[in-house]
Amino acid sequence: MTHEIGRPLLRVRGMLKMFPGLVALDRVSLDVHPGEIVSVVGQNGSGKSTLVKILAGVYAADGGRVELAEGTGLHFIHQDLALVPELSAAENLALMRGTGAGGLAPFHDRRRSERARELVARFGPVFDVDVPVRRLTPAQRAVVAISRALDGWTHSANVLLLDEPTESLHRSEVDVLFEAVRRLAADGTGIVFVSHRLDEVLGLSDRIVVLRDGHKVADEPAHEVDESRLIGFITGAEDGAAVPTTPRTSSSGPREARAEPDAPASPPALRVRGLGGGSVDGLDLDLRPGEVVGVAGVLGSGREAVPSLLYGAGEASADLFEVTGAAYADRSPAASLGRGIAFAPGDRAHLGIVREFTARENLTLPQLGTVTGGLGRILSRRERAESDLLLTEYDVRPHRAEQRISLFSGGNQQKIVLARALRDHPRVLLLDEPTQGVDVGAKATIYAAIGRAAADGTAVLVSSSDAKELLAICDRVVVMRDGRAAAMLQGDDLTEHRLIAEGYGLP
Amino acid sequence: MTSRRAEIRRALSFRNISAIYIFIVLFVVFTVWIPEKFLQVGVWRSLLDAEALTGIAAIAALIPLVAGSLNLAVGAQVGFSAILAAWLLGVAELPIAVELPTVLLAGALIGLVTGLIITKLRVEPIIATLGMSSILLAGMAWVSNSQQILGLDPAYREIATSRFLGITVPVWVLLAVAIVTWYVLERTPVGRRMYAVGFAPDAAHLAGIGVDRLRIGSLVAGGALAALAGALLTSRLNAGDPTVGPSFLLPALTAVFLGATQFRAGRFNVLGTIVALYVLAVGIKGLQLAGLPRWVNDLFYGLSLILAVALSQWEKREKRASAEPEAGASPSAPSPTRDAAGAGG
């Protein structure tokens, strides 16, 4: 299947997008021809989603242009599909179409359902179009979304952009979706497929475009690319050679600065066997005092759930759960804090802080007992002094303990969250995406603080979608896949290439 | 000491203590308008006494609200407790020493049940308390037969009507309740945690705070206080009147919400509540003395409630706008002012 015939339907030329202190897209160009399936891949922060958002009109580009061939329509399927879950497939499909008489004209149920069945039949077996879409399988929902995107097509030619459409799909359902996509392409539609699942990308695409740090680093026919080369493009180690990656920020060297972890003879700070809950299904883990352990994995692998499950924030089960050798049942945040387990959640705005509180009130909230005196009174002078000290130690700017925390920048909020978690010198520190939405300077401060905590004997667990971050701060990394630990990487094995390959389940 | 001066200026700013400026305006207006009626010591003394029970009811609404539960049943709680008190004294003929603790306990129990409905059955507070309010009204009608309960122990009347240092007992009770509540909310870990629960329950849970326990506890405390107001109401009327209680709801909530715009901008607080309560009462009193019809009360409270909430929303927006440039600015000079960035004074 070569589709280089004729003019491309979609031409992106020299697309430039800058954010403060960051070039998100650096003059990226892209062509999509009729009937061609072009995949766009890259890591978090590579510029993938920025490109999608510019095409969708969410962001305005700082330079470059997008050209559509005469009479071509551009359509989007976003990750969340944008369906109304309580309405049936037929109703969802009818939403987009005008009803003519001012939206108050009665509609014909039967005709509407027939039309819906016709539409979905183009993509494979017909399913019940009259039940609420929330009762359909994820793949069927995706088909509804695609049908809806297609239904309004009045153009002679079309380009369909699918943004991480397989995120919520089970492996077996992905085929249903791909069959639909292939049928569309066979009819001459141009497809842009944005994904981070490399096996799918390799299986589906005609051409693969790789973005890295805002640059287009590869634009190759799919049959000339194999997994190893693809990972090489994505990580920047060309040809897929296992080149160890150096930490991104020069000042973030806690790995080197820290003493060796304790001998394995001492009991682990935290030992868990068969941890289950959420998307995690049977995780075994040991955290030793003084070590920084990373948790990696693609979205949906269970990676993001591990810290909160260990903290006792969600419903979790475990065959064995020990803190420094003592069994720990009936887990809850309060009990975890009591046992010296601290947690800094990833959703900072909703879970990490009380936005209406000042920095000081947030800092002392979990451990108010240490600043409480006679008559159950908060000793405000001591509380203030302690807050001031913490703001200095964690380099929070501006140095204003009485400022509302929501008025600090994201990076400084995160420093406060970390300062709070470390205030009582916990045995175990659980971090979820510790530098999400954080600027480079704050990142260095946060890495340094993590390193100091580990040097003091705290066992640190870091769950992160940022492979470079894990490489920079972790002694070893657990790679999650389908809710379990798929690999444990350390020493020379701990490379960006291995991290990503294991995450995708590639050899 | 510029920061000191800025702090004082901020403390005196209209935004921080608008209720006090409004009070001054009201005072001047009514003094000019109806001086012969308005400037009477008796008027002010009766005002102080008349609003004391509303003040206790307002604090009964304030405490759960701090922990995130809007209690629409406060009026019904006061009314039910008042009828219960009258029934225990007049019909069951129990001594005051038994009656009073029983009423308080019943009030606490009502709070407990409401708290369990909210936390265990996961019913939104506004719905749970609306339902509870209706149930209590039914209970009142059942106990009282929708009639006044008369013939109470004359000694009971003494409680609400006797004076100490020229001021009636309910005012002293309000003062004591206000001071204790202020202390707990502003000066203890329990109060800090209650605010955290009210603002961000999920974050509070992750900070190891027993969210449900605090929610229930706040409703129990609020229930007991509403019962106290009810018991004093029956004492003052020397009768159990099934029609009076529910009218406490609007003034109480208005005072709490208007109070949240005062002193500790954006936080429900005791001092603001009490000041707002009396400012509103002065406005009402002045209008009454000027001869306006009684329905002006409802109009006044309704408008004030909406105004109070609108004011706090506006303040939130302003705060954000004025704070943005400042947030990233000069990293030095720790500032002693509270909510410094939002001061804009």
Contacts of A372 in chain B (CB under 8 A): 188-189
Confidence of residue B106 (pLDDT cuts 50, 70, 90): very high
Compare A381 and A241 and report the one with higher pLDDT. Answer: A381
Distance between CA atoms of residues A425 and A420, nearest Å: 10
Average pLDDT value for residue range A446-450: 93
| pLDDT tens per residue across span A108-118 | 677 888 888 88
Residues 6+ apart with CB under 8 A from B266: A356, B260, B312, B315, B316, B319
Which of B188, B203, B328 is the closest to A376 by Cβ? B188
Confidence of residue A493 (pLDDT cuts 50, 70, 90): confident
Contacts of A421 in chain B (CB under 8 A): none
Q: pLDDT value at position A208?
A: 93
DSSP string, A270-291: EEEEEEEETTEEEEEEEE-TT-
Please name the helix (run of DSSP H) or strand (run of DSSP E) that holds residue A334, with its range, or none. helix A333-338
B290: left (phi over 0), alpha (psi -120 to 50) or beta: alpha
**Which of A395-399, A470-474, B2-6 is predicted least confidently?**
B2-6
Q: pLDDT value at position A358?
A: 92
Work out the angle at residue A500's Cα, subtended by the Cα atoms of residues A497 and A504, and round it to the nearest 5 degrees.
Answer: 135
Which of A365, A366, A407 is the closest to B323 by Cβ? A407
Chain B residue at shortest CA distance from A398: B331
Work out the angle at residue B134's Cα, subtended by the Cα atoms of residues B133 and B137, and round it to the nearest 5 degrees.
Answer: 90
Q: At B283, which amino acid appears?
A: G
% of chain B residues with pLDDT over 70: 89
Q: Is the pLDDT of residue B2 over 70?
A: no
Q: Alpha helices, DSSP H only, in A352-409?
A: 359-364, 380-393
Q: pLDDT value at position B323?
A: 44
Q: Is the pLDDT of residue B189 over 80?
A: yes
CB atoms within 10 A of CB A401: 25
Torsion of CA A269, A275, A277, A279, to 10 degrees: 100
Please name the helix (run of DSSP H) or strand (run of DSSP E) that holds residue A502, with its range, or none. helix A496-504
Give the long-range contacts of residues B21-24, CB within 8 A, separation 24 or more. B22/B279, B23/B275, B23/B278, B23/B279, B23/B282
DSSP string, A42-74: --TTSSHHHHHHHHHTSS--SEEEEEE-TTEEE
Would the CB atoms of B335 and A400 count as touching at under 8 Å? yes
Would the CB atoms of A397 and B331 count as touching at under 8 Å? yes
What is the count of residue pairs from A and B with beta carbons less than 8 Å apart? 112
| Structure tokens, B125 | 């507070």
**Which of A103-107, A435-439, A484-488, B143-147 is predicted least confidently?**
A103-107
Average pLDDT value for residue range B280-305: 85
- For an interface test with A, the pick among B206, B211, B214, B322 (most A C-beta atoms closer than 10 Å) comes out as B206
Distance between CA atoms of residues A384 and A382, nearest Å: 5
Distance between CA atoms of residues B311 and B328, nearest Å: 27
Would the CB atoms of B334 and A352 count as touching at under 8 Å? no
Would the CB atoms of B335 and A402 count as touching at under 8 Å? yes
Which of B203, B323, B334 is the closest to A399 by Cβ? B334
Q: Of A212, A206, A260, A265, give the one whose Cα is nearest residue A234.
A: A212
Q: Of A267, A268, A264, A271, give the one whose Cα is nearest residue A322.
A: A271
Q: pLDDT value at position B339?
A: 36
Contacts of B196 in chain A (CB under 8 A): 354, 357, 361, 365
Which of A345, A353, A402 is the closest to B339 by Cβ? A402
Would the CB atoms of A365 and B199 count as touching at under 8 Å? no
Q: What Rg value do the Cα atoms of chain B yield, rounded?
A: 21
Q: pLDDT value at position B173?
A: 95
Q: pLDDT value at position B263?
A: 82
Would the CB atoms of A368 and B207 count as touching at under 8 Å? no
Would the CB atoms of A356 and B199 count as touching at under 8 Å? yes
Q: Is the pLDDT of residue A3 over 70?
A: no
Query: How far, in Å, are A307, A432, B196, B287 from residue B300 at the CA level?
Result: 52, 51, 32, 10
Query: How far, in Å, are A144, A227, A272, B225, B249 from residue A186 at the CA level?
Result: 19, 25, 50, 74, 68
Residues 6+ apart with CB under 8 A from A119: A93, A147, A150, A151
Chain A residue at shortest CA distance from B335: A400
Q: pLDDT value at position B320?
A: 52
Q: Is the pLDDT of residue B301 over 70?
A: yes
Chain A residue at shortest CA distance from B208: A334
Q: pLDDT value at position A21?
A: 63
Which of B196, B206, B333 is the closest to A357 by Cβ? B196
Contact B44, B38 (CB under 8 A): no
Nearest chain A Cα distance for residue B121, angstroms:
18
| pLDDT tens per residue across span A42-59 | 876 688 878 888 888 888
Would the CB atoms of B267 and A356 count as touching at under 8 Å? yes
Contact A308, A314 (CB under 8 A): yes
Contact B73, B132 (CB under 8 A): yes
Would the CB atoms of A377 and B203 count as touching at under 8 Å? no
DSSP string, A245-272: PPPSSTT--HHHHSPPPPPTTSPPSEEE
Reduce the secondary structure of chain B to three states and give it as a string: CHHHHHHHHHHCCHHHHHHHHHHHHHHHHHHHHCHHHHCCHHHHHHHHHHHHHHHHHHHHHHHHHHCCCCCCCHHHHHHHHHHHHHHHHHHCCCCHHHHHHHHHHHHHHHHHHHHHHHHCCCCCHHHHHHHHHHHHHHHHHHHHCCCCECCCCHHHHHHHHCEECCEEHHHHHHHHHHHHHHHHHHHCHHHHHHHHHHHCHHHHHHCCCCHHHHHHHHHHHHHHHHHHHHHHHHHHHCCECCCCHHHHHHHHHHHHHHHCCCCCCCCCCHHHHHHHHHHHHHHHHHHHHCCCCCCHHHHHHHHHHHHHHHHHHHHHHHHHHHHHHHHCCCCCCCCCCCCHHHHCC
| pLDDT tens per residue across span A121-164 | 877 777 888 888 888 877 788 888 888 877 766 677 889 898 87
Q: pLDDT value at position B345?
A: 28
Distance between CA atoms of residues B47 and A236, nearest Å: 78
Q: What share of chain A is helix, strand, coil (3-state, %, to 5)?
A: 35, 25, 40
Chain A residue at shortest CA distance from B266: A356
Query: How far, in Å, are A127, A148, A300, B32 from residue A117 at the CA level?
Result: 8, 12, 31, 78
Pairing of β A292-296 and β A476-481: parallel
Contact B186, B269 (CB under 8 A): yes
Reduce the secondary structure of A29-49 to three states and give it as a string: EEEECCCCEEEEECCCCCCHH
Chain B residue at shortest CA distance from A374: B188
Residue A193 contacts B, CB cutoff 8 Å? no
Contacts of A353 in chain B (CB under 8 A): 200, 203
Pairing of β A292-296 and β A459-463: parallel
Contacts of B189 in chain A (CB under 8 A): 368-369, 372, 376, 378
Please name the helix (run of DSSP H) or strand (run of DSSP E) that holds residue A430, with its range, or none. strand A428-432
| pLDDT tens per residue across span B134-160 | 999 999 999 888 888 887 888 888 888
Please tell me what DSSP assigns to residue A105. Answer: S
**Which of A474-478, B6-10, B60-64, B91-95 is predicted least confidently?**
B6-10
Distance between CA atoms of residues B107 and B88, nearest Å: 14
Distance between CA atoms of residues A223 and A229, nearest Å: 12
Distance between CA atoms of residues A457 and A263, nearest Å: 12
Q: At B267, which amino acid appears?
A: R
Would the CB atoms of B205 and A365 count as touching at under 8 Å? no
Contact A415, A395 (CB under 8 A): yes
Query: How far, in Å, are A41, A221, A321 from residue A421 at the CA level?
Result: 36, 49, 21
Q: pLDDT value at position B343?
A: 33
Q: pLDDT value at position B344?
A: 33
Q: pLDDT value at position A90?
A: 85
Contact B248, B57 (CB under 8 A): yes
* CB-based burial label for A329 (10 Å; 0-12, 13-18, 19+): exposed
* CB-based burial label for A488 (10 Å; 0-12, 13-18, 19+): middle
Distance between CA atoms of residues A83 and A193, nearest Å: 20
Distance between CA atoms of residues A246 and A471, nearest Å: 8
Q: Is the pLDDT of residue A250 over 80?
A: no
Contacts of B204 in chain A (CB under 8 A): 354, 365
* Residue keyed to tokens 């002679």: A156
Would the CB atoms of B193 and A368 count as touching at under 8 Å? yes
Contacts of A339 in chain B (CB under 8 A): none
Would the CB atoms of B203 and A351 count as touching at under 8 Å? yes
Please name the helix (run of DSSP H) or strand (run of DSSP E) that holds residue A216, with its range, or none. strand A215-221
Q: Is the pLDDT of residue B332 over 60?
A: no
Residues 6+ apart with CB under 8 A from A65: A12, A13, A14, A15
Q: What Rg value do the Cα atoms of chain A yield, rounded?
A: 26
